[in-house]
Amino acid sequence: MEKDAYKTIDRPGQEILFKEKASKFFAYSFPVDKEDEVESALLELKSKHNKAGHFCYAWQMGENYEHFRVNDDGEPSNSAGMPILGQLQNFEVTNILVVVVRYFGGTKLGVGGLISAYKTAAKMALENSKIISKTINLNFEVTCEYDKMNLVMRLVKEYDLDIIEQDLKLDCHFKIGVRKKDFEMIYKKFEVVFGFEVSSKFKAEEK
């Protein structure tokens, strides 16, 4: 069956602290769907932790989990960002950023120790985040005469659809959101059975 839902968070998670050999690892999760939101979150944390040595992170975006990035921020290659990303993938979450802020405690952890510490901190951050499920919706637009407006509204109510926009100035114009798995059936109801002028935008929306 085609996937039409994904897991994410809709608010920042709780700050967590993991300690390993006197090093402190503060971990945070943020909901993001644009890269400039990543930069804003990092600036916020750098202001809060202005004496920390490393701000390592990973993010994943897109309802199909198709975009991601990692950053080791000066730690040995693949010892920080990749373990954080691994936890995003284990929890199957997207549109999310996890940042782990490290204060060096004076004892080197080695690459293996760093991998374990960043993985644990990221896991704790996700465990302390409220993970929710969102459906993937697609949009289409309907234009009809006023005498068919009640029929449109009846279909909207019958199939529990979302009216995203409506314009009743000249003709009746509606933008309607439909859960992805139901899109083809609903679209045909409007287009074929009732002969409305329908245009498909195939744009993903969240619900």
Model confidence pLDDT, tens digit, residues 43-57: 999 999 999 999 999
pLDDT for the residue numbered 35: 92
pLDDT for the residue numbered 140: 84
Task: Report phi then psi at 48, rounded to 5.
Answer: -75, -40
Q: CA–CA distance from 204 to each of 55, 178, 181 (Å)?
A: 32, 9, 12
Residue 125 carries which side chain, given as an amino acid letter?
A
pTM value is 0.76
Residue 134: is its pLDDT beyond 50? yes
Residue 178: is its pLDDT beyond 50? yes
pLDDT for the residue numbered 147: 79
Could you tell me the pLDDT band of residue 204, with boundaries at 50, 70 and 90?
very low
b or e along 125-138 (b: 16 or more beta carbons within 10 Å of the residue's beta carbon)? bbeebebeebbbbb
Q: Which of 13-22, 140-149, 170-179, 182-191 has the highest mean pLDDT?
A: 13-22
Query: Tens of pLDDT along 22-35?
Result: 999 999 999 999 99
pLDDT for the residue numbered 207: 46
